[in-house]
């Protein structure tokens, strides 16, 4: 899973990125490049299972994060969506738009004044214009080509693009357009910015920390209730905390009223927004956490581990994490009837410990 941090310049993206790298890398270091990091997802359930199985290695699920440089302003004062930007967001599964609430005269704001609601609108407008232009160009081409000769793919695309055009012309982002599975498939090769799931990260400092409620009600008024998921955080303060020892950091955190780290907040929000959950595999060689969509079947989950497991699936041995911790071993789970054999249609639950039987 890949997420991109986007926003105007100096909103706090790189600061958050650095904090996330730190939060996800306690212990073994994850891979990180200048603008891209593979962050281990902290997972206490997995830690506890590893303490029991004592495997050769523990493999956490990972989140790939891209720190995308702030969009520049063009001469007419609008955000410029560059081809470099488009290339970077292309493969992301979700975007986090970081808006700035902290005030600091020594750090220039591209729009001069501090106004995070305006900044959301700013980016949304440019994203929408970018999508509208893509839709229009593509529609022109589809219609022209279809006049020349029949083409099944284009015939399928035409109504979907028309539907998207009508929606965006009402100034609505594509993420609010209802598309069925087939329609999504037809346009899956295209990159629409307003189709990406989006979270708003509100970057606060000590002086602005009481503005969260006002911000949320302003956002509701402007964009409609629940148009966005918002998570407030303290980019600079949390970065500074990440440089301290755990005990020191805990003290400052409670003074500040921070009960959950920015990384944990982001993970929780992303999992909810994208409808994700985890399953676990255990053994002497490896204890591992895997990310899957909610409502995935045991066979689909097997396919996440290996395509062969999908193709040659026989049964899944399943124990819920809580049951396992409660009974203490697989043998005791069996005695208690908490260990089950499930078929390929079984719908996985969060925290299931799976062992796939395959031919």
Q: Applying CB under 6 A, does 171 fall inside the site for ligand GTP?
A: no
Tell me whether residue 59 or residue 73 sits nearer to ligand GTP (CB atom): 73
Q: What stretches of 42-148 show up as alpha helix (H) in DSSP?
A: 44-53, 83-89, 116-148
CA 63, CA 38: separation in Å to the nearest integer? 6
Q: Which residues contact 342 (CB under 8 A, 6 or more apart)?
A: 298, 315, 316, 317, 318
Per-residue x/- marks for ligand GTP, 101-140, CB under 6 A? Answer: -x-x--x---------------------------------
Q: Applying CB under 5 A, does 203 fall inside the site for Mg ion?
A: no
206: its two tokens: 């000590």
16: its two tokens: 């958050």
Q: Which of 236, 267, 301, 318 binds ligand GTP (CB under 6 A)?
A: 236
200 with 266: CB under 8 angstroms? no
Q: At its nearest, how many Å lie between Mg ion and the CB of residue 14?
A: 3
Q: Applying CB under 6 A, does 14 fall inside the site for ligand GTP?
A: yes
Sort strands 276-281 and 286-293 into parallel, antiparallel or unpaired.
antiparallel
- Listed residue (317, 314, 309, 327) closest to 281, CA to CA: 317
Q: At its nearest, how many Å lie between ligand GTP and the CB of residue 12?
A: 4
Q: Which of 1, 2, 9, 146 binds ligand GTP (CB under 6 A)?
A: 9
> Is residue 173 helix, strand or coil?
coil
Q: At its nearest, how many Å lie between ligand GTP and the CB of residue 47?
A: 30
33: its two tokens: 């490049």
- What is the footprint of ligand GTP within residues 67-96 (CB under 6 A)? 69-70
Interface with Mg ion (CB under 5 A)? 13-14
Interface with ligand GTP (CB under 6 A)? 7, 9-15, 69-70, 102, 104, 107, 203, 205, 234-236
């Amino acid at each position: 899973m890949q997420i991109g941090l986007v926003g105007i310049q100096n909103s706090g993206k790189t600061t958050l990125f650095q904090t996330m790298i730190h939060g996800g890398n306690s212990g073994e270091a994850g891979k990180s490049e200048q603008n891209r990091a593979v962050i281990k997802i902290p997972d206490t359930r997995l830690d506890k299972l590893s303490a029991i199985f004592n495997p050769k290695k523990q493999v956490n699920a990972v989140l790939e994060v891209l720190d995308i440089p702030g969009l520049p302003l063009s001469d007419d004062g609008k955000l410029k969506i560059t081809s470099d930007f488009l290339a970077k967001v292309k493969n992301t599964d979700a975007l986090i738009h970081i808006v700035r609430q902290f005030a600091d005269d020594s750090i220039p704001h591209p729009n001069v004044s501090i106004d995070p609601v305006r900044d959301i609108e700013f980016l949304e407008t440019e994203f929408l214009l970018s999508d509208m232009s893509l839709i229009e160009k593509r529609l022109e081409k589809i219609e022209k080509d279809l006049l020349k000769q029949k083409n099944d793919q284009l015939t399928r695309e035409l109504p979907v693009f028309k539907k998207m055009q009508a929606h965006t012309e009402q100034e609505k982002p594509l993420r609010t357009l209802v598309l069925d599975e087939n329609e999504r498939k037809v346009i899956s090769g295209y990159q629409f910015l307003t189709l990406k799931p989006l979270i708003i990260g509100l970057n606060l400092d000590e002086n602005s920390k009481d503005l969260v409620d006002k911000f949320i009600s302003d956002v509701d008024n402007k964009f409609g209730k629940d148009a966005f998921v918002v998570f407030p955080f303290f980019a600079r303060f949390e970065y500074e905390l990440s440089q301290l020892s755990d005990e020191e950091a805990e003290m400052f955190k409670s003074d500040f009223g921070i009960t959950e780290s920015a990384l944990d907040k982001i993970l929780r929000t992303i999992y909810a927004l994208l409808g994700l959950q985890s399953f676990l595999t255990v053994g002497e060689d490896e204890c591992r956490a895997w990310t899957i969509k909610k409502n995935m079947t045991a066979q689909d989950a097997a396919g996440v581990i290996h395509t062969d497991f999908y193709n040659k699936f026989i049964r899944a041995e399943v124990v819920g994490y809580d049951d396992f911790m409660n009974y203490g071993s697989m043998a005791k789970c069996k005695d208690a009837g908490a260990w089950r054999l499930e078929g390929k249609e079984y719908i996985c639950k969060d925290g299931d410990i799976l062992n796939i039987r395959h031919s």
